[in-house]
Amino acid sequence: MTTVLNPATEEVIAEFDSAGVEETDAAVARAKAAYPAWREVAPGDRARLLRRLASLVEEHQEELAQIESRNVGKPIAGARGEVGMVAQVFHYYAGAVDKHFGETIPVAGGVDMTFREPLGVVGLITPWNFPLNIASWKLGPALACGNAVVLKPAELTPLSALRLAELALEAGIPEGVLNVVVGKGSVAGQRLIEHPDVAKIGFTGSTEVGQQVMRGAAGTIKRVTLELGGKSANVVFADADLERAAATAPYAVFDNAGQDCCARSRILVERSVYDRFLDYLVEATRNIRVGDPADEATEMGPLISAAHRETVASFVTDDVRLAFRGEAPEGQGFWFPCTVAEARPEDRIAREEVFGPVVAVIPFADEAEAVRLANDSPYGLSGSIWTENGARAFRVARAIETGVLSINSNSSVRVSTPFGGYKQSGFGRELGMHALEGYSEVKNVFYSI
Ligand code: NDP
């Protein structure tokens, strides 16, 4: 049985029979049966169906945002923005259907051409932090390429995916093309990874489970795309607009209560401005409004679960040097306050992914040390660079080993630009035209003339 809670109140909001191996196999069989007809749908018609889905998401924005807010504990204003992005993702990939094409290659004795072909049935395993967004980043390109899909959302947050599947049917996407199984990762997810009829796994989640996905996929040489953890650095040089860097830094780590793989959970600050920056940062963090996710003014809600709160709390031990600890509601709900810690690069809080509202602030001496510290991590997902020196900004951007960087900004994710990690943050790219690579094969055909 899957019990779904509202993390802000601990109320039970839904219960399901968990899908086991049998139900997962049945979903794969439905997808396999639907695939041949779906891949034959004319590009213009497939685009129209995805566009209709995008429009239905727009029409149901408030409903979907309320579902996501109650199930994840997200502030409602942010949840609306996230659903808006989901609609944009489907619009984008509707437009991409007929713009993802092959090439002709000059060869001797004939004509050589390539085709982009779908993989077949793909399994998508998604996490609880941005349930609908991350599902859409995979569904958009997968469906645009002509694949049939089995989506396994996180057991804690399956509600928005289930509603999206209903909207897909309403949009006219044929039955069996988009299937959702609600079950445990270790059962339903594992079965998808091993299933001989599943051609690819698109996974977002922890690096540990990402390793299991790779291992399990080896048995059938499945394609995998992995979007895993992060410990991204927000690098602030002395010549930056310090007030702006500090005013925005809390949102780059405490947004979604820090449960964000792109969280800039290490702030590296040039030593000469360290104290001044820390003062600004603490002031900005103090102003974050933590509370009821249903309140329009709320900026940060609770953590996802009691177990996760324990994990986050385990980072804030007595020996951690706190610069600030905010307030959070007491009583029901998995609350955790905004926490700013002064850290050394070797501290656990500065090395491991906390996935909660905890930031480690670390001084550096010069540009070389900033780059060395930023790269001193097994992860390489995201990050920011703050400086008014353009040449330095690009030097550092090219030197940091990470997939997504922003200069004088903390944004990582746009519908039309590639997103994904270096090192143990995974591989493969989501969003933009790059994502289509992960959901198609290239076939080469030579025609002798
Ligand atoms: P997991 O990696 O465990 O979960 C992500 C997804 O994988 C869920 O759908 C989960 O299912 C599924 N899953 C779990 N085990 C298996 C398995 N053996 N085979 C196949 N699928 C599986 O993340 P957690 O939710 O446990 O979070 C733990 C940590 O992971 C976080 O604290 C954070 O550090 C990191 N994380 C990173 C995310 C990111 O965006 N990169 C997102 C979420 C977490 P289910 O949970 O339903 O059992």
Atom of ligand 1 nearest to the CA of 210: 2
Instruction: State pTM to two decimals.
Output: 0.98
Cβ of residue 25 lying under 6 Å from some atom of ligand 1: no
Which residue's CA is the closest to the ligand 1 atom numbered 12?
185
Instruction: For the chain, give the percent of residues with pLDDT over 70.
Output: 100
Q: Are 380 and 395 in contact (CB under 8 A)?
A: no
Give the largest Cα separation in the chain, rounded. Answer: 77
Q: Would you place residue 235 in the very low, low, confident or very high pLDDT band (cuts 50, 70, 90)?
A: very high
Q: Give the mean pLDDT of 68-93.
A: 98
Cβ of residue 404 lying under 6 Å from some atom of ligand 1: no
Instruction: Tell which residue, 124, 143, 165, 196, has the closest CA to residue 35.
Output: 143
How many CB atoms are closer than 10 A to CB 176?
18
Give dist(CA 103, CA 116) in Å, integer: 10
Q: Which helix (H) or strand (E) holds 346?
A: none
Q: Would you place residue 1 in the very low, low, confident or very high pLDDT band (cuts 50, 70, 90)?
A: confident
Residue 137: per-residue pLDDT: 98
Residue 164: per-residue pLDDT: 98
Cβ-count burial of 101 within 10 angstroms (0-12 exposed, 13-18 middle, 19+ buried)?
exposed
Residue 21, pLDDT above cutoff 90: yes
Instruction: For the chain, give the percent of residues with pLDDT over 90.
Output: 99
Q: How far apart are the first and last CA of the chain?
A: 62
Per-residue pLDDT tens digits for 168-197: 999 999 999 999 999 999 999 999 999 999
Atom of ligand 1 nearest to the CA of 381: 41
Instruction: Tell which residue, 444, 421, 443, has the closest CA to residue 210.
Output: 421
Known catalytic membership, residue 262: no
DSSP string, 142-206: HHHTT-EEEEE--TT--HHHHHHHHHHHHHTPPTTSEEE----IIIIIHHHHH-TT--EEEEES-
Output the six-digit token pair for 11: 């109320």
Which residue's CA is the closest to the ligand 1 atom numbered 29?
206
How many CB atoms are closer than 10 A to CB 27?
26
Residue 394, pLDDT above cutoff 90: yes
Per-residue pLDDT tens digits for 346-381: 999 999 999 999 999 999 999 999 999 999 999 999
Q: What long-range pairs does 165-168 form, CB within 8 A, spacing at least 24?
A: 167/53, 167/56, 167/57, 167/60, 168/53
Per-residue pLDDT tens digits for 136-172: 999 999 999 999 999 999 999 999 999 999 999 999 9
Q: Give the mean pLDDT of 51-72.
A: 98
Cβ of residue 158 lying under 6 Å from some atom of ligand 1: no
Per-residue pLDDT tens digits for 291-342: 999 999 999 999 999 999 999 999 999 999 999 999 999 999 999 999 999 9
> Rounded mean pLDDT of the chain?
98
Burial state string for 203-220 with b = 16 or more CB within 10 A and e = fewer than 16: bbbbbebbebbbebbeee
Known catalytic membership, residue 296: no
Any bridge partners for residue 227, and if so which?
204, 426
Q: Would you place residue 2 in the very low, low, confident or very high pLDDT band (cuts 50, 70, 90)?
A: confident
Give dist(CA 77, CA 293) in Å, integer: 9
Per-residue pLDDT tens digits for 255-264: 999 999 999 9
Question: Chain centroid to CA 335: how far?
Answer: 22
Per-residue pLDDT tens digits for 418-428: 999 999 999 99
* Catalytic-labelled residue, pool 68, 82, 155, 227: 227
Residue 314: per-residue pLDDT: 98
